[in-house]
Structure 1
Amino acid sequence: MHQLNLRKARPEDASAVWEIIEPIIRAGETYVFSPDTPREKMLDYWLGADKDTYVAVLDGEILGTFYLKANQPDRGSHVANAGYMVGEKARGKGIAKAMAEFSFVEAKRLGYTAMQFNYVISSNTVAVQLWQKMGFKIVGQVPDAFAHPGLGLTDVYVMYRKL
């Protein structure tokens, strides 16, 4: 059996990261980014200096990516925020769960005491269920906060867990 390697993203990973991110943002169903966000702008965001960005590698291929960052500056900087994406061909294989478990350990190592997701689209049931299985609670709901391309205005959850 091959082992999934989770490591910090490197500059040379940018193209592989873009291959994961592009179809997800083009679909416009689970992230707030405009579907026509250019490659450079999206990679500047995902790989930005304000984040610790990681990749999930199996047999030399990057299958997923996530970042950790402070949810808020200064007095809110002990709570992590994160974003996760898994490539389409790798979905349903436990990559997201592995990245989540690794991210909790890594976030704690970086000094965070909790993790908060500010904008989980309620219609993204796969993500909502995964986060709930991973110990997150829905602590808030924002009505009609996301303009879903097929469902129209959709609620967004705020989700939280201690590390």
Structure 2
Amino acid sequence: MSTRPELADRPSAVIRPFTGTDWEQVWPIVRDVVRAGDTYTYDTTMSETDARAVWVEQPPGLTVVATEGSPERIAGTAKMGANRGGPGAHVATASFMVAAGSRGRGVGAALCRFVIDWARAQGFAGIQFNAVAESNVAAVTVYRRLGFEIIGTVPRAFEHPGLGRVGLHVMYLEL
């Protein structure tokens, strides 16, 4: 995700719903982000089958891809849906992953804006991110610029591979 607003405001990506044939390009993005172990609480040895089951949302949730160029190349992906069921179903959540070669060009910010618009259109009251590593400064910067607030931090809840235990932010945007 870009920390430079002048780039984040001019993404070149087109965002569209995920299709089954997209997995061939989405899996390397998910695999690389998960294996790095520095932003997500997923098991770094997660299999492709498990990753697909976690990442590809079923309706009424949605998974999307951000594409660039011709031929179409997937630069990033997001998944979104209700944060919880039952009495918590009025709050959305989302997750984002951007290909290493596409970071810093506004793809993540464009995906986040898409999620905000989607959540509003679906009638959600807000969006909650449950576990944003405080060391993921680029993502935290984008989320805050788009209106999310850090409403709490669980101290030392994330085992970063290089920094040791860092906090996990809970972030929220009221819609």
TM-score by length of structure 1 reads 0.95
**Separation in 2 of the partners of 1:2 and 1:125?**
20
* RMSD (Å), alpha carbons: 1.6
Q: Which is further off, 3-12 or 83-92?
A: 3-12
Q: Contact 1:68 / 1:81 at 8 angstroms: preserved in 2?
A: yes
Q: Contact 1:69 / 1:80 at 8 angstroms: preserved in 2?
A: yes
TM-score by length of structure 2 reads 0.88
The residue number in structure 2 matching 1:14 is 23
Q: Which structure 2 residue ranges, 5 or more long, are not aligned? A: 1-9
1:85-104 equivalence runs, <5 A: 85-104=97-116
Q: Indicate whether 1:56 and 2:66 are aligned.
A: yes
Corresponding residue pairs, total: 163
Amino acid at match of 1:42: A
**Separation in 2 of the partners of 1:98 and 1:20?**
17
The residue number in structure 1 matching 2:174 is 162
Matched position secondary structure for 2:30: helix
How far does residue 4 in structure 1 lie from its aligned partner after superposition?
2.4
**Separation in 2 of the partners of 1:2 and 1:144?**
34
Deviations 1:75-118 (A, max 9, x none): 11111000001000001111111111111111111221210001
Cα gap change, 1:22 to 1:154, in 2 (>3 Å): same
Matched position secondary structure for 1:42: helix
1:44-123 equivalence runs, <5 A: 44-49=53-58, 51-59=61-69, 60-123=72-135
**Larger RCO, structure (CA 8 Å, separation 6 or more):** 2
Q: Which structure 1 residue ranges, 5 or more long, are not aligned? A: none
The residue number in structure 2 matching 1:25 is 34
How far does residue 49 in structure 1 lie from its aligned partner after superposition?
2.1
Matched position secondary structure for 1:111: coil
- Residue identity over aligned pairs, in percent, reads 36
**Separation in 1 of the partners of 2:125 and 2:57?**
22
